Structure 1
Amino acid sequence: MRRVEAGSVRRVPPALTRALTCGTLLALASCGWGGQDTGQGERLPSAPLGVTAAAGSATSVHVMWNRASDDPEVTRYEVYRGTTKVKEVPGAEHMVDITRLKPSTTYVFTVRARNAAGDSGPPSKQVRATTPAAVAADHTAPGRPGRPHGKAIGSRAAQLSWEKSTDDRGVASYDIYQGNSKIHSVGGAQTATVVTGLRPGTRYSFTVRARDAADNVSPASDTVRLSTAPGTDDGRGTAPTDFRTTTHRADGAYYIDLSWLAPEVDGVITEYQIHLDGRPVTSLVWGGDPPRGKSTYSFYVGRDAGESHRVRIRAKLPDGTWGGFSAQRTVTTGSR
């Protein structure tokens, strides 16, 4: 299987792979690719991908990244504000709230991963977030979010939605709770989210709270109770959609052209895996900014016309798990 990454400068023979999306996708090593070598036969963790930052109030920012699946295993993440380390979380987590910030201020954040030996990998790309202005003498909490609704998406994910809260100064963010634990935050203009990384055959309880710029928090919404499906499933709710395939011929060879839309999850999808005729053949990793909307990619399959292939694709979700497969398409080289 081959793994390719955007933003890299490594060279690949043009007959092996071509990319048509968001900059040039270039071949790296095999699927065992990871971070840099320490010089003692060990590999450092890779830079975390999919890092985002969004203000939760006038004094807090919610930082989120994609959980690594590196070898060696990541044991903790460090979050930096500028050059100052401000938070450290276990390797099983991939989001954190940075508090005690100043209103009306732009902050720059990066995230680094560390392995069990204490070696840190390179920093992620920088992300910026600006806190809103402080509201003087605001002691009124937003109203509770209304009419929450949820449904399980197979065995590993759930879709939640709610009606917006009212606040005399405006809602800055919504906090999502699983039981008594806060598990995520979204912006004040957002009234839906997808929670991934759930366990099959398990009952869950979710509530939502609204937060304003002064950090006043609303009462919890009504509880949404749902159960994930038992066992494993095809995860269709976390699969890429509108998946299409065609072929083209160039330099005497045939290529399969793919296009798709990313699954709707909170966070950034930075990695996809392509299966050809039932086997994984390529991993696509965006080292820079992943494309918004439709993604496209082309890869070499041979020089013979009239050969049929079955193709499907799946995304690695921000929690580090694989989402469901797209619909499978059959394409024949040389056909129109």
Structure 2
Amino acid sequence: MRRVVLCGPVLALALTCGCAAGGGDEGRAPGAPTGVTAEAGSATSVHVMWNAVRGDPPVAAYEVHRGGTKVAEVPGSARMLDVVRLSPGTAYVFTVRARDTDGRLGPESRQVRATTPAAVAADRSAPTRPGGLTGRAAGSRAVQLSWSASTDDRKVVSYDVYQGGTKVHSVGGGQTATVVTGLRPGTRYSFTVRARDAADNLSPAGPPLRLTTAPGTDGNTDTAPSGFRATARLDADGAYYLDLSWVAPRVDGVVTEYQIQLDGQPATSLVWGGDPPRGRATYSFYAGREKGVEHRVRLRARLPDGTWGAFSALRTVTTGAGG
């Protein structure tokens, strides 16, 4: 199912897409996730992180296992998980596996270990907010952050790093610096840090730090839909429609939303509620009944991290001119 939200004078539509994931035998299973780490977040939680696995077809989900038991499954756009409801003062072993959009499950990652701290009784006092958050862009796809330590009446167990309102990273309570990776070139980000104690009390966040990654040699065009085509078509109802087709950008995770821009203004938001199409996607929308009208059209994808990617190539089409 895909949902279409239209802006301006165009009507809202709901369209069904028969694009379910297949179970073909082509391709190969995704590889094992690398860079897997596990860090206690509190007496009852562990923060597990890993690097994205690239594949064709792309990764649809990651499975996180504790020992031999699957404890959670997250979308392919995720690279971290807080495993909760654990026992205090206990050692745990974690692995991660990737599954692609054809349902193939890759091998387990290497095992990582983490031990939750001992429980603390009747602790309702949150740590103080971390101060002095500073940082810099480390090239086009990472930033380096540092902050001053929080204090707590017991002990700070971990620090959570947020990108906007989303938690993207976590480090141990004895660490006051980190590198956040997996970012995009030439993009402005906002970061905050919060401290957590063993009882899961979370400090307030300090003022946000805004950083912009370096442009990169690709000009960020790797986030644009490729192979974009646009033609004008006269339908049996006497109206003209624009027929669009494109290939999703190759990014970490699955793209489910696009914004279509018509004549320099946002015209349509296209959202797939189910499995988005693999390979070339297509979409048609109403362009009026007048012949000889020239339109300029392009589109961009909302990436798995919630930001917009680069626009596709701009195409110009004229109603009644055949393509």
Find the residue that maps to 2:51 and give its secondary structure: coil
In structure 1, distance between residues paired with 2:210 and 2:25: 50
1:223 counterpart = 2:208: yes
In structure 2, distance between residues paired with 1:232 and 1:161: 27
Aligned residue type for 1:96 = L
Matches within 5 A, 1:1-336: 40-232=25-217
In structure 2, distance between residues paired with 1:109 and 1:156: 27
Find the residue that maps to 1:88 and give its secondary structure: strand
| Percent of residue pairs bearing the same amino acid type | 70
Sort the Cα spacing of 1:45 and 1:219 in 2 relative to 1 into closer, same or farther, 3 A. same
Deviation at 1:39, TM superposition (A): 11
In structure 1, distance between residues paired with 2:184 and 2:26: 36
Structure 1 length as normaliser, TM-score?
A: 0.56
Deviation at 1:81, TM superposition (A): 1.2
Find the residue that maps to 2:64 and give its secondary structure: strand
Using the TM superposition, name which of 96-105 and 80-89 deviates more: 80-89
Deviation at 1:116, TM superposition (A): 1.0
Using the TM superposition, name which of 181-190 and 194-203 deviates more: 194-203
Deviation at 1:199, TM superposition (A): 2.4
The superposition leaves residues 198-249 of structure 1 with CA deviations (integer Å, 9 ceiling, x where unpaired) of: 2233222111000001100001022112222334389xxxxxxxxxxxxxxx
* Residues 45, 120 of structure 1: 8 Å contact kept: yes
* Residues 155, 233 of structure 1: 8 Å contact kept: no
Find the residue that maps to 1:124 and give its secondary structure: coil
Sort the Cα spacing of 1:228 and 1:66 in 2 relative to 1 into closer, same or farther, 3 A. closer
In structure 2, distance between residues paired with 1:229 and 1:43: 34
**Higher radius of gyration, 1 or 2:** 2
Specify every segment of 5 or more residues in structure 1 that has no aligned partner in the other structure, as ranges.
Answer: 1-37, 235-318, 320-336
Specify every segment of 5 or more residues in structure 2 that has no aligned partner in the other structure, as ranges.
Answer: 1-22, 220-304, 306-323
* Residues 208, 221 of structure 1: 8 Å contact kept: yes
Sort the Cα spacing of 1:157 and 1:39 in 2 relative to 1 into closer, same or farther, 3 A. closer
* Residues 139, 216 of structure 2: 8 Å contact kept: no
In structure 1, distance between residues paired with 2:28 and 2:36: 22
Sort the Cα spacing of 1:67 and 1:167 in 2 relative to 1 into closer, same or farther, 3 A. same
Aligned residue type for 2:94 = F
* Residues 40, 115 of structure 2: 8 Å contact kept: yes
Deviation at 1:153, TM superposition (A): 2.2
In structure 2, distance between residues paired with 1:71 and 1:233: 21
In structure 2, distance between residues paired with 1:233 and 1:158: 18
In structure 2, distance between residues paired with 1:144 and 1:91: 32
Deviation at 1:149, TM superposition (A): 0.6
Find the residue that maps to 2:41 and give its secondary structure: strand
Deviation at 1:50, TM superposition (A): 2.1
Aligned residue type for 2:176 = T
In structure 2, distance between residues paired with 1:135 and 1:93: 31
Deviation at 1:195, TM superposition (A): 1.5
* Residues 154, 233 of structure 1: 8 Å contact kept: no
In structure 2, distance between residues paired with 1:144 and 1:110: 32
Structure 2 length as normaliser, TM-score?
A: 0.58
* Residues 56, 62 of structure 1: 8 Å contact kept: yes
Tell me how many residue pairs correspond in the alignment: 198
Find the residue that maps to 2:171 and give its secondary structure: strand
* Residues 157, 196 of structure 1: 8 Å contact kept: yes
* Residues 30, 54 of structure 2: 8 Å contact kept: no
In structure 1, distance between residues paired with 2:181 and 2:26: 35
Deviation at 1:160, TM superposition (A): 0.7
Counterpart in the other structure of 1:32: none
In structure 1, distance between residues paired with 2:210 and 2:196: 22
In structure 2, distance between residues paired with 1:137 and 1:206: 31
* Residues 171, 213 of structure 1: 8 Å contact kept: yes
